[in-house]
Structure 1
Amino acid sequence: MTKNTGNQSRNEQGTQNPSMLDNFRPLLLDVAVPLGSYYLFKDAFGMSTFAALAWSSVVPAVRTAWSLVRERRTNALAGLILIVNVVSLLLSFVSGDPRLMLAKDSGVSSVIAIGILASVWLGRPMMTAGMKPFLVKGDAEKEAAWERLTAGGPAGGSGGASDRSVAFRRKEKVFSVVWGLVLLAECVARVVGAYTIAVDTMVWLGSVILVGAMVIGFVVSGGVAAGPMEEMLAAEVADGRARQQEQPVVAVAA
């Protein structure tokens, strides 16, 4: 009888696919919980803007401190949200000028945009944390393929695999650059509008600009980065399966 030792060793490991919750947990803790708690404290509990910002800063502050103490590294998303909240807290003391208060709201977008662009320059694109769960979808093969592509391709891989890895990492940076530029443009548009458009009009138009920027961000980043990355990820998964099937078959006595 024959036995494929490579496949057997993989099956014996009993690797389980990570759940969607496992993939989304960092994003939920770093972004959704702070932002959601802010609106909950402000709208549902009637807290002041200052108090809502202060209480919603607890989770990112704890996450940032935990990363520094336990993991000996910074948590980029949690740190950025914490900085945004601190800046907003400081700006909340500014009052009296309705146009300045409208312009202040765009400061959140500008801080996030600059943080995203800086992360690309440092070689650690910040928006990857939000994009990866949508592409991997909790699949162990896609997770392994993602790690190979971001690490430079499989050891001893072909030139094609290496080229794919380079292209994949380039698209990963493009995804963050698109979002950084979109949020920066949204910030500029809202600041200009705050000082050139009637205050009553800008109160609702600011939300329209923000939603429009988000739509543009999703469409453009999906077309130029996330879509091609998903295709490369699928190709890498297929190549990984082919490499498994090509492993030597060892004859074993019956």
Structure 2
Amino acid sequence: MTKNTGIQNFRPLLLDVAVPLGSYYLFKDAFGMSTFASLACSSVVPAVRTVWGLLRERKTNGLAGLILVVNVVSLLLSFVSGDPRLMLAKDSGVSSVVAFGILASVWLGKPMMTAGMKPFLVKGDAEKEAAWERLLSGASDRSAAFRSKEKAFSVVWGLVLLAECVARVVGAYTIPVDTMVWLGSVCLTGAMVIGFVVSGGLAAGPMEKMLAAEVEDGKATQQEQPEQSGLAVAA
């Protein structure tokens, strides 16, 4: 049961992120397809997942939709050529799409980064899974604080990626091209590190503690129920 729960937790990341990214590099590097063709083929799964969610479940699959939009933007940007500074700046287009997508998901009340954070907090544990659901459903006294931290996690990542996008555009037009070629990767790596550190300390860490406390409360409640039943029988 725990194993199956763990697989279910990681399923959105596997289907909506890992499969499209993995297939892109498979088509491009292993099969020698062009960047355009690789992006187009790797968009099939997120496109199907997005349409399926709308038709079958009547809801938007946030991760799949975001990956699909990113691929479409990448396809459009693949036609950009000429000015080397513009070529350097175009990569920020993808970062901006991801950033605005994440921030929009928070505004809509469905923080997109939750799907990526949950597996690492729940760890496939059935008790933590149940506690997670209680916290998000509003059934716990900690629910309001928990959902606030959930939103904060996505907001941090949205702002970090947006800042990285702005920095890359500014750098592309103010820093020598040869320097910006390698500095762009440094900016992205730095943004990821900042994102992990800040979101972990501000949101994921406190959420993990609340989750642990909720699990303990759940255990205490289960222990009280048999005792109350025994007293009722004795009476």
* TM-score, normalization by structure 1: 0.87
> What is the rounded CA distance, in whole Å, between the counterparts of 1:207 and 1:43 in structure 2?
20
Aligned pair partner of 1:130 in 116, 123, 137: 116
Aligned pair partner of 1:230 in 193, 200, 208: 208
User: Gapped runs of 5+ residues in structure 2?
Assistant: none
Q: Give the AA of the match of 1:106.
A: S
1:204 aligns with 2:182: yes
Q: CA shift at 1:39, angstroms?
A: 2.3
> What is the rounded CA distance, in whole Å, between the counterparts of 1:135 and 1:50 in structure 2?
37
Partner residue, 1:107: 93
Q: Give the AA of the match of 2:63.
A: L
Aligned pair partner of 2:65 in 58, 76, 79: 79
Partner residue, 1:193: 171
Aligned pair partner of 2:160 in 182, 190, 194: 182
> What is the rounded CA distance, in whole Å, between the counterparts of 2:182 and 2:32 in structure 1?
21
- SS of alignment partner, residue 29 of structure 1: helix
- SS of alignment partner, residue 249 of structure 1: helix
> What is the rounded CA distance, in whole Å, between the counterparts of 1:67 and 1:245 in structure 2?
40
Kindly report which structure 2 residues correspond to 1:3-152, keeping only aligned pairs within 5 A, or say none: 16-17=1-2, 18-152=4-138
Q: Give the AA of the match of 2:136.
A: T
- Kindly report structure 1 stretches of 4+ aligned residues shifted beyond 4 Å: none
Q: CA shift at 1:112, angstroms?
A: 0.5
Partner residue, 1:239: 217
Cα distance change, pair 57–122 in 1 and its aligned pair in 2 (3 A)? same
Kindly report which structure 2 residues correspond to 1:165-176, keeping only aligned pairs within 5 A, or say none: 165-176=143-154
Partner residue, 1:11: none
User: Gapped runs of 5+ residues in structure 1?
Assistant: 1-15, 154-160
- Alignment root-mean-square deviation, CA: 1.5
Deviates further, 199-208 or 126-135: 199-208
Cα distance change, pair 19–149 in 1 and its aligned pair in 2 (3 A)? closer
- SS of alignment partner, residue 90 of structure 2: helix
Work out the number of aligned pairs and report it.
Answer: 230
Q: Is the Cα contact below 8 Å between 2:40 and 2:71 reproduced in 1?
A: yes
Higher helix share: 2
Q: Is the Cα contact below 8 Å between 2:66 and 2:101 reproduced in 1?
A: yes
Deviates further, 133-142 or 87-96: 87-96
* TM-score, normalization by structure 2: 0.93
Q: Deviations over 1:14-42 (max 9, x none)?
A: xx223432211111111111122222322
Task: Give the structure with higher Rg (CA).
Answer: 1
Q: Deviations over 1:226-253 (max 9, x none)?
A: 0000000000000001011111234879
Q: Is the Cα contact below 8 Å between 2:111 and 2:154 reproduced in 1?
A: yes
Percent identity of paired positions between Structure 1 and Structure 2: 84
> What is the rounded CA distance, in whole Å, between the counterparts of 1:197 and 1:140 in structure 2?
51
> What is the rounded CA distance, in whole Å, between the counterparts of 1:234 and 1:225 in structure 2?
14
Q: Give the AA of the match of 1:55.
A: C
Q: Deviations over 1:130-159 (max 9, x none)?
A: 000000000111001001011112xxxxxx
Cα distance change, pair 19–67 in 1 and its aligned pair in 2 (3 A)? same
> What is the rounded CA distance, in whole Å, between the counterparts of 1:143 and 1:88 in structure 2?
36
1:213 aligns with 2:191: yes
Q: Is the Cα contact below 8 Å between 2:5 and 2:126 reproduced in 1?
A: no
Deviates further, 18-27 or 234-243: 18-27
